[in-house]
Every structure is written in C-alpha cells, then in structure tokens.
Structure 1
Amino acid sequence: MKIVIGTRASQLALWQAEHIKAELESRWDDVQVELKKIITKGDKILDSPLAKVGGKGLFVKEIENELIDGTIDIAVHSMKDVPTEFPEGLELFAITEREDPRDAFISRNGKSMAELGQQKDVTIGTSSLRRQAQLLTLYPHWNIVSIRGNVQTRLKRMEERQMDGIILAAAGMKRLELEHLVKEYIAPEVMIPAIGQGALGLEVRSADTALKERLEFLRHPVTTQCVLAERALLRTMEGGCQVPIGAYAVPKENGSVFLNALVASVDGKEVVKGQLEGNNPEELGVTLANQMLNSGARAILSVVYHNN
C-alpha cells in the first residue's frame, strides 16, 4: 500500500510528516510512505500579520486541494493551524498524542520574563494576537512586534532586530531539539495555549476507508477529547488562527474534561476568562463559549474582527 503524505516544507512540518511516516512504516510491513512538500500561501506571505491576509486557512488550503485531487492521501497538520470547518469530502480523522502544549520564551540576552518586566523599552516578537494580548496583560509597557516565518527564521530575526525575546510553541522547540534555547516554559495558568497546540492532526478523504483503518492506531483518545472541546469553543466563537482566543483542556480522573479559556482585547486591557468541566467535549466547548460570549467576549471579538 502506497501512501503519500502532504506537508508544508518547513523544518518543523517535515519533522511532523516524517514522524507519521515512521509510525506507519513501523506498524505496517506492507506500507510504503512518500512525502510531498507543498508551499502554502501562509508560507509565502511573511511580511503581514496572518489576521490581515486570511488567517488560519492560509496554511492548509493548498494541501487540502491536493487531497481532493488525489495527489496526496494524508495531510499532516499542526492542530493549532487547522480550521474548524472542512471542505466537502475531507475529514479530520486522527489527532495524535499531544506534545508539550505550553508556550516557550526564548531570551536573546538570557533574562527571564520577570527580569525583563522590570525594564523599560522591552521588545518581544510574536506572530500571535493571543500571545500578544496575554503578554500585555502581564507587562503593559512592553513593545510587541509581529514576527512571522518558521522557527529558524524567527530566531534569526530576533537577533537581527535586536529583540529582547520571542515566544514560540514549546512543542516545536522540543521536536526540533532546540530546548537549550528556551529560557522558560510559560505555565498554561499564566498564558493559555492556542487551541490544539502541541497535537498533530491527520486529514484524509472521507471515503478512504482502507486508509483510515491503517491510521486508527495513531488516534489518541485523551488528546482527542481535549482538543475537540477546545475546537468546539473556537468554532462557537467563530474564531480563527489570529484572534486573541486561548483554550486548554485537560482530562480529569473521573473521565471528564476540564476546559480553561480566555478571550482578550489585542492590547490586553480587556480579558474574559472561563472554566468549565463536563463529560461531553463538544457540549463543553459550546457551553463555555456561550457563557464567555455573554460575559463580554462577544464585544471584544467584534472589535477585533472590525479592525481586521
């Protein structure tokens, strides 16, 4: 059985695709896996914030088109890049076990966030409005600048532009074996992660039943329950990749899921937080989203969407 995996061409995306390839070939003796690199619109446009040029779908549309055309069989995505709606004929079949979901602070001069927080004229780079909003809530005097590109590009730009630090996903730093560059990992209680952060998603054609049977072993039930709750919240809020929404769900010993979420204004001055526990992930996400929307999140998001 030949399987073609479609992936973005960045070093991290290739690591993720190679990981799935190795898992499949280790599990199935009769499977041959190839990778196909696909350049997405999000990879081409690096000089504008994602919110200004189309948001979340920028990293998946070209890959999904090749799935529909049949030139690839599986799309491997970072779950935090995956829209909540899928084209007809495609589905998110598997969510893998989650890597570290936290954000990571990379310091150019070795100082921690708390140490930099005492200084003036601090410049931090991030491509995420979610991170920006939460940073400004903690340190309103910081200067937050947009920085796009893959991990290596962002690290290079931090040095070139003499930034004090940048925020990246811990999962990517660990997968690329760059943990030595991380000054500190930011606890979810301090900075709520992006929806699905740290997990991989496998998108396939809905009719590909034989392939789905081969992928079944990659599904991680606990991670799936948690990420489904986070995505239900995002979908209900009609949020994309580049909106100041964070959500992080964790499993409880009794089998339920505990969901913690945040919506903030871009300047960090207005924040709506919510927490809820439940047994049905989809219902949990929808219920918490509606509670937060009615508690001020709707007004915050309307301003963000208007400005974008």
Structure 2
Amino acid sequence: MRTIVVGTRQSALALTQTNQVIDELKELSRQNGIECEFELRKIVTKGDRILDVTLSKVGGKGLFVKEIEQAMMDKEIDIAVHSMKDMPFELPEGLMVGAVPKRQDPRDVLITKGEKALDELPQGALVGTSSLRRSSQLQHSRPDLRIQPVRGNIDSRLRKLESEGFDAIVLAAAGMHRIGWQDRISAYVPPEVCVPAVGQGALCIECRADDEFVLNLLSKIQDDDTALAVRAERSFLGRLNGGCQVPLGAYATVERTGGGTELSLTAMVGSPDGAELLKETLRGSDPEALGREAAEKLIARGADRILAEAYESGQIE
C-alpha cells in the first residue's frame, strides 16, 4: 500500500482545506480500488514567518509555497495542497499542477461592524487589507477610505477588527466558506467592483511530474471548467510577470454550449492608491491566448508603466 505524504502550511485554513482534499481522495481511492493511505506534513513558509510587513514589502514570488515545493523535490512529501492564488506562474523543474478541484466562491468579502456593505461604510472608514490588488480597487471605488495593512491568519485578522479599530477588513470568500465561518461575512464584493486575485477560490494540488501513481489518483478530483478558467488567469499573470503581492487581478468564467467552450476573462491592473485602474474583458476559446491578449491590451494602455512605478516607489519589492 502506497503512503502519500501531503504537505501543507500550518494555518487553520490550510489544514482545513488540505484535510478536505485528503478526505475526497480517500473516498475516490476506495471507489476506484486504489490502495493508499495519507500522512499530513506541516511546513512553515517564508510568508508565514514574516508577519510584521505587508506581502508587497516582503518581496519575491512564491512566498507561501517555496519551502513546500523544496520538500517535494527532496521527496519528503508527495503532494501539496496550495491556494491557487499563492502560486507563482513558473513552477520548479520536475513539479507540476496535478489537479485543480472545483472552485469555491472567488469573490472578496467585507467583515464589518454592523453588517455594512462597501457603499454603506462611513466616510473615511478604516479598512484592513494587506493586498495591493484589494486596496487599489477599493480606493478607486471609495477614495475616502483609509486603507491600513493587516496580516495574519483569518482568526487573527478577525480579532484585529475589534482590537485595532478597523471599520472593516477584507478577506477571500473561499477561506471563510472552507473554514465554516460564512455567517461572519457582512457583504460580498462583486467582481465588477473588485476583480479577484488570479486563481482566487481555487486550490492547486501540486506533485512531481514523474509520479504516475499520484497523477492517476489526482485526476479523479480535477474539475475541467475550473482548470480552464485558472489557465486563462495564470496566462495573464505570467505575461505581466506578476505575483500575489502585485496590484493585478483576473477572473475567468467558462460557458459550455452546443458550439463548444468559451471563456470570459476580466483582468485588471491598478496603481496601489487606486488613482489609476485599467480593466479589460475579453472572450475566447483558448485560455492561454486569452490571458496573453488581455495582458497585451492592458500593457498598451499603460499597465507596465503602472507596475514599474509601483516598484520604483518602493510600494512593491
């Protein structure tokens, strides 16, 4: 019997979503007569260790995955369960995305005092988020908002809503749903107002490219529509050489008709202060081509200048 060692970060959310994937794999293994058992391995990443500065100031890509990927290359673990939005575009040689399960809600959400929506927050409200993508779009929609960085896992950020005087904090809907705290959500922010991060709401099950046993098992939890959408979003990310700390977002949906499969992709790049916000919405059938086309259109409108200025000013490192 094969023992599959599963690597994950040690936050409550990471452990919850990893155990959900393991439970699904166990059931599918039983149904398909695949003999295996699972062992969980917790790994601390750079992004977990450095909590006193925003992600944009930490610098580098793969802040939440590099140490886990190294453990996989060293064959200390066999698979890893990541949040897709944490994944850099380029993976280390020998590793691959083995499966993309069905996506959870991709939207951002507000956790507020008094169950307020974005347009109901008081003038000059203090909003906590460590994401330049979120702050850019929120300040573009509401220039009066005061944005202050807030880091940590979900429960520590929720505590800071009370302890540090925030009127609202912004989190990913998927995390709140997976951990079972959806009743704490005050309002969902529509993608039209705040384009989600690349891959937000989706999971990435990463493995070694030569592990046929694991690849066969992971194929059972692949969701083709989610995988297509994520491919388009990540193609956009790759063309702009971005990461989770950069003020850009992309969200794709898939429509299957009698005539085939079509994707709709909305992509954005914004200045960290929200003064400039560029968006494009395109449709097409080739996910990689669609992502690249969206990036090229935004570059033609000044996206590369916006990102370069953010790096030069020290807002991104």
TM-score, L = length of structure 1 = 0.97
2:166 partner letter:
M
Q: Which amino acid aligns with 2:230?
A: V
Preserved contact between residue 228 and residue 281 of structure 1 (Cα < 8 Å): yes
Per-residue Cα deviation, 1:199-236 (whole angstroms, up to 9, x for no partner): 00011111111210111111110000000000000110
- The answer as to 2:137 corresponding to 1:134 is yes
User: Whole-Å Cα distance in 2 between the matches of residues 50 and 103 of structure 1?
Assistant: 17
> Structure 1's 25 and 253: CA in aligned 2 closer, same or farther, altered over 3 A?
closer
- Structure-1 separation of matches of 2:241 and 2:83: 19
1:270 corresponds to which letter in structure 2? E
**How do residues 46-85 of structure 1 correspond to structure 2 at under 5 angstroms?**
46-85=51-90
User: How far apart, in 1, do the equivalents of 2:270 and 2:298 lie?
Assistant: 11
Aligned residues between the structures: 306
CA distance in 2, matches of 1:140, 1:214: 48
* Letter aligned with residue 92 of structure 1: V
Q: Deviations over 1:63-117 (max 9, x none)?
A: 001001111000110000001011111111211110000001100233332121x
Contact 1:230/1:247 (8 A) holds in 2: yes
Match of 1:109 in 2: 114
2:16 counterpart letter in structure 1:
W
Correspondent of 1:259 among 265, 276, 300: 265
SS in 2 for 1:15: helix
Counterpart of 2:247 in structure 1 is: 244
> Aligned-residue CA RMSD in angstroms?
1.0
The Cα of 1:120 is off from its aligned counterpart by 3.1
Residues 169-248 of structure 1 mapped to structure 2, 5 A cutoff: 169-248=172-251
Q: Is the 8 A contact 2:61 2:244 kept in 1?
A: yes
Inter-partner Cα distance in structure 1 for 2:29 and 2:102: 19
1:269 matched to which residue of 2?
275
Letter in 1 for 2:4: I
**Residue type matched to 2:12 in 1?**
Q
C-alpha displacement at 1:196, in angstroms? 0.3
2:150 is paired with a residue whose SS is coil
Whole-Å Cα distance in 1 between the matches of residues 311 and 224 of structure 2?
34
- The Cα of 1:55 is off from its aligned counterpart by 4.5
What is residue 290 of structure 2 aligned with on the other side?
284
CA deviation string 1:6-47 (max 9, x = no partner): 000001000111011101111113220111011111111100
Percent of residue pairs identical: 46
Aligned ranges 1:112-127 → 2 under 5 Å: 112-116=117-121, 119-127=122-130
Is the partner of 1:305 in helix, strand or coil? helix
State whether residues 109 and 188 of structure 2, in contact with CA within 8 Å, keep that contact through their aligned partners in structure 1: yes
Q: Distance in 2 between matches of 1:89 and 1:236?
A: 22
SS at match of 2:302: helix
Of 292, 302, 310 in structure 2, the residue corresponding to residue 304 of structure 1 is: 310
Q: TM-score, normalised by structure 2?
A: 0.94
Q: List structure 1 segments (4+ residues) > 3 angstroms apart after TM superposition.
A: none
Distance 2:244 2:54 in 1: 11
User: Gaps spanning 5+ residues in structure 2: where?
Assistant: none
Q: Is the 1:130–1:244 Cα contact (8 Å) retained in structure 2?
A: yes
Partner of 1:9: 10
In structure 1, distance between residues paired with 2:285 and 2:124 = 46
After superposition, the Cα gap between the structure-2 partners of 1:253 and 1:210, relative to the gap in structure 1 and judged at 3 Å, is closer
Contact 1:109/1:164 (CA < 8 Å) preserved in 2?
Answer: no
**SS where residue 28 of structure 1 aligns?**
helix
Instruction: Measure the CA separation in 1 of the matches of 2:61 and 2:156.
Output: 20
Q: Does the CA contact (< 8 Å) of 2:118 and 2:189 recur in 1?
A: no
- Secondary structure of 1:104's aligned partner: strand
CA contact (8 A) 1:196 1:227 kept: yes
**Offset at residue 252 of structure 1 (A):** 2.0
Q: Is the 8 A contact 2:106 2:201 kept in 1?
A: yes
Whole-Å separation in 2 of the counterparts to 1:110 and 1:21: 35
Q: Amino acid of the residue matched to residue 302 of structure 1?
A: A
